[in-house]
Structure 1
Amino acid sequence: MYDEAGHRPGRATRRAVLGTIASVAAAGIAGGCARDRPGRGDGDDRAGAGAGPVSRAGGSGHTFERLSAPDRTLVRAADGGTLATFTDGARTAVLTGPTRTFSEPRTTTATVTTDVWVRVLPHEWQRGMERTAWFKGWFTRTLGDTSPDVFAVAFEYSSAGAPDKHDAAGVRYAGTAHYGPRDRGVSDPLDFGYHSERSDFYDYLGIPWTFPDGTRARPEKARYGDVDCSGFQRLVWGYRMGIPLRGTNTEGAGLPRRAFAIAAHGPGRLLIPVTGEAPTDLSILQPGDLVFFSIIKERPKLIDHCGMYLGLDDRGRPRFYSSRSAANGPTMGDLSGHSLLDGTDFYARGFRAARRL
């Protein structure tokens, strides 16, 4: 655990934090609490806003605070550390829990160590929901939950190798994913056209899918076990985590098919709009946010790639996770461009937008 300047706190501070964890657990809410840190690592609890109204949950030792830009509710422990963040209009919940490290040695030496756990709320968050009965029960259960969250589920498809998992019907719902079949006209494996796009979540699963509008999609046999960039996000957030899916790129309820449509009118909150330029202020981001890119130089406003923001890596750089052609599947690695949002490298130059589902 580190302070806002990135330094490890002294012994007295660490004792105080451990005491807060004990008091929260005694109140029936298991789990740790994190000090506020810059938003590129764990979600900036202060970015773009002064302190809003604070309400206290009787007997639990924690408080609820309102912040803006975007409008959101923070749950704070007795010492002021952040336990959770809920954004108005979004189902993404960011909670504090045991520290984990994500790595992918095949494609990068960088690692991401985080105490952030990303969960999906049963409803879009709205101001005042902390006073509802469903939330009190959900929060008590979920803060101490160590079952797979969004990050853990996403890494169940790592191109570096992930074990297969099958459901009761024999469908392989997890295990190493690839990007898609090779384009025989391209010989360089680092070329973005080396593997063709068009692999959705149902191609990976190898099963037909009926969307809410009645549209029936059938998987291509040649794409079994494959997901392109947006197909991967739909596999994780939709098929696995329960956010509704739709089969088109038009406006409507649910997560649309392509990256440009998710950025423009997907569910949740648009945090960074497309302007044709790379954003320079990343403080609004929190782990789990979807990030979008324009990787065709001649069309700087065309969104043609998306990924999931992981937070700061071990070098203090903002790193994302996406299904990419060069790695032939989901990766946090650096083949054909570093998986970073800052600096002057390929993806940093192409970074255009962000959305919180």
Structure 2
Amino acid sequence: MSPVSRRAALAAALAGTAAGVVPSTALARAPEKASRAPAAAPAAVAAAPGAQPPATVWVHRQDVNEGRFFRAGLGGPLTARMTGAAGPETYEVSDAYGPLATLTKGARTVTVHGPRRTFTEQKKAFTDRFDRAVPGWGTSPGGGRWATPDTGRAEFRVEGGSGTVVLREDGFSQFATLSDSLGDVDVSAVLTLDRAPAGDAVSAAVCCAYDGDGRNYRARLSFLTTGEVRLILEMAAGNTTTVLGGPVQVGSGFRPGDRWRLRLERTGTALRCRAWRDGQDEPATWQAAETDGTLGAGGTGIRVLANKGGTALPVKVLVGEFTVAGRRPEPPEVTHDLWVRLLDTPFDGALTPALERRLRDWAGDTSPDALGYAAMFLPHAADAVDPVLGTRVLGESGYGPFNTKTGDGTREIGADFWEYMGLDTWTFPNGEAPAQPENTGPQKRWAGFLDCSGYVRMVYGHHMGIPMVNYRDLDGTNLPRESADQAAKGPGVVVAGFTADGVPGQAPPPLDGLRAGDLVYFDAYDSAGDDDGVGDDRGTIDHVGIYLGRDQDGKRRFSSSRKTPDGPTMADLGALSVLDAGTELYSRSLRVIRRF
């Protein structure tokens, strides 16, 4: 079946959903009046049986004056004027109500004014089980790179499925931390020691609001020389440590290798913690709690200490699991009334009667657009199955499977749209074979994953209909496989970034011509292929995202599939997903803007 007829079948299936009845993962409320019945979001199709309602991924907030957006046949004649914006020739089309749409000569994408929407994302929970072989603690799966000190007082390494800290000197605390800044957070760990304390206690804690070793909240387990285990809730601010709760005795008879679970929760100014032996039920009540608003958002991590006077050294603290479930102080939000649609052919500069009818119809259309599809792969997005292909075509995506060759906990690059769907192969219109037919057999190791360019191809190619190839026929009409080819030879027009010699510039291009739905291309990865804020500006396009619009802080925010967050995200794990944040990774490594 051709891609066009496949999408028609999907649209027919969606049309069977009652107009205005829309799932929480897509449109919170549909307009009551429209020039035609709006199609429900695809997330309603074949949702996983028994699945719990996920958090909102994108929300449609109904405008007060909704009537102005449903103006097919209304609003008087349309007029077009050149905008004077930087970059390619761009036209704003208006009617009596005001701006209706913006078109770009040579591009198929059109931004249309419609109902206002808010795109947002809640952070995914993750658990680090330290199942890797790396120096230090390496990179956690979904939490970013661990920061561990290089000090003779302690040694950090991963061994035997645990993150270990070898404490060689008493009286000094050591931290291993993740930099993602969180406000409300729920953090827990599984902890033990390799030998019984002697001389004085040994402590292990989970931390939040970390802003340097001298500023953090922590829930601390103190393993005493008597075998007693005590829980203390503390705050470090400046050079002062304040006990907020406890100490509370939670156990006795500790022996080396006994595993304890420790949990710290922060909600607003409320802090509470509890601890229990691994394998037993989690206590129903919190064992220490307090209210404190001294510290703001910050990182999470582990803090270990051999008290002054301890003699059982070196002692090894082992972290078997580290889990974080939380969010930023405010989740990122992008709110505007722009919908990104696709013309059948590139705009040639002429406003024809047929194009006028198309623009008027789009003004009242709430079926998914490019931005809507982009949001349907973010964390907590509901699954949807294509009724023709019989495969999952929407739903939360990862970045790629773990790299089994290196065993270092990093993820492989290479997941394209057809592999996300769990297909063995894909036939492109030009007869080209897939780049890596490795999704065969029952394991389907690439199923459910999209790398950065695979994410773009899934949204703009598979769902929006731009024809795709891999590495042949890069003629400016097809959508290539790799981000570097997309930037240089992809469909549409370049908004900014290439020099007169046809190569990407060595500095971020101006952003004044940027519009929602544009593709943003980066030289972002470091030599290890990590997107963790290192970056080495090697002169090669290696990453791509979809520009969403300005967030609640006025920053230009994009969505892309990234290794550190493990999949499509518009949030800030490892590095800010914004384009105008000065020296931040993606702001400084942006090189090309293209409009399909």
TM-score range, shorter chain: 0.7 to 0.9
Sort the Cα spacing of 1:292 and 1:149 in 2 relative to 1 into closer, same or farther, 3 A: same
Aligned to 2:80: 64
Higher share of residues assigned helix? 1
Amino acid at match of 2:413: E
* Residue correspondence of structure 1 range 11-26 to structure 2 within 5 A: none
Aligned to 2:588: 349
Aligned to 2:488: 264
Sort the Cα spacing of 1:152 and 1:27 in 2 relative to 1 into closer, same or farther, 3 A: closer
Is 1:28 matched with 2:73? yes
Matched-pair contact (CA < 8 Å) for 1:249–1:257: no
Matched-pair contact (CA < 8 Å) for 1:276–1:300: no
- Structure 1 counterpart of 2:445, from 222, 225, 230: 222
Q: CA deviation at 1:26?
A: 6.0
**Structure 1 counterpart SS, 2:445:** helix
**Structure 1 counterpart SS, 2:578:** coil
Q: Distance in 2 between matches of 1:24 and 1:101?
A: 17
Q: Distance in 1 between matches of 2:73 and 2:91?
A: 21
Single out whichever of 176-185 and 324-333 deviates more from structure 2: 176-185
Aligned to 1:275: 505
**Structure 2 counterpart SS, 1:157:** coil
Matched-pair contact (CA < 8 Å) for 2:69–2:363: no
Sort the Cα spacing of 1:319 and 1:249 in 2 relative to 1 into closer, same or farther, 3 A: farther
Q: CA deviation at 1:300?
A: 3.6
- Structure 2 counterpart of 1:198, from 407, 414, 425: 414
Is 1:177 matched with 2:415? no
Q: Distance in 1 between matches of 2:472 and 2:576?
A: 28
Aligned to 1:312: 550
Q: CA deviation at 1:83?
A: 1.3
Q: Distance in 2 between matches of 1:238 and 1:244?
A: 6
Amino acid at match of 1:237: Y
TM-score (norm. length: structure 2) = 0.48
Q: Distance in 2 between matches of 1:336 and 1:269?
A: 31
Matched-pair contact (CA < 8 Å) for 2:111–2:516: yes
Q: Distance in 1 between matches of 2:71 and 2:473?
A: 48
Single out whichever of 197-206 and 169-178 deviates more from structure 2: 169-178
Q: CA deviation at 1:103?
A: 0.7
Aligned to 2:120: 103
Q: Distance in 2 between matches of 1:138 and 1:209?
A: 32
Unaligned runs of 5+ in 2: 1-62, 124-326, 499-503, 527-534
Q: Distance in 2 between matches of 1:197 and 1:101?
A: 30
Matched-pair contact (CA < 8 Å) for 1:91–1:123: yes
Matched-pair contact (CA < 8 Å) for 1:64–1:76: yes
* Residue correspondence of structure 1 range 140-159 to structure 2 within 5 A: 140-158=360-378
* Residue correspondence of structure 1 range 126-141 to structure 2 within 5 A: 126-128=348-350, 130-131=351-352, 133-141=353-361
Matched-pair contact (CA < 8 Å) for 1:309–1:321: yes
Q: Distance in 1 between matches of 2:551 and 2:537?
A: 30
Q: Distance in 1 between matches of 2:559 and 2:380?
A: 15
Aligned to 1:74: 92
Matched-pair contact (CA < 8 Å) for 1:288–1:310: yes
Sort the Cα spacing of 1:25 and 1:333 in 2 relative to 1 into closer, same or farther, 3 A: closer
Sort the Cα spacing of 1:249 and 1:309 in 2 relative to 1 into closer, same or farther, 3 A: farther
- Structure 1 counterpart of 2:334, from 88, 107, 112: 112
% identity of equivalent residues: 38
Matched-pair contact (CA < 8 Å) for 1:249–1:258: no
**Structure 1 counterpart SS, 2:112:** strand
Matched-pair contact (CA < 8 Å) for 2:105–2:346: yes
Amino acid at match of 1:344: T
Is 1:212 matched with 2:438? no
Query: Aligned-residue CA RMSD in angstroms?
Result: 2.2
Matched-pair contact (CA < 8 Å) for 1:250–1:261: no
4+ residue runs over 4 A deviation: 21-27
Aligned to 1:284: 513
Q: CA deviation at 1:171?
A: 1.2
Single out whichever of 163-172 and 304-313 deviates more from structure 2: 163-172
Amino acid at match of 1:289: D
Q: CA deviation at 1:322?
A: 0.3
Task: Report which of the two structures shows the higher radius of gyration computed on alpha carbons.
Answer: 2
TM-score (norm. length: structure 1) = 0.79
Q: Distance in 2 between matches of 1:178 and 1:62?
A: 44
Q: CA deviation at 1:301?
A: 2.0
Single out whichever of 175-184 and 97-106 deviates more from structure 2: 175-184
Q: CA deviation at 1:23?
A: 6.8
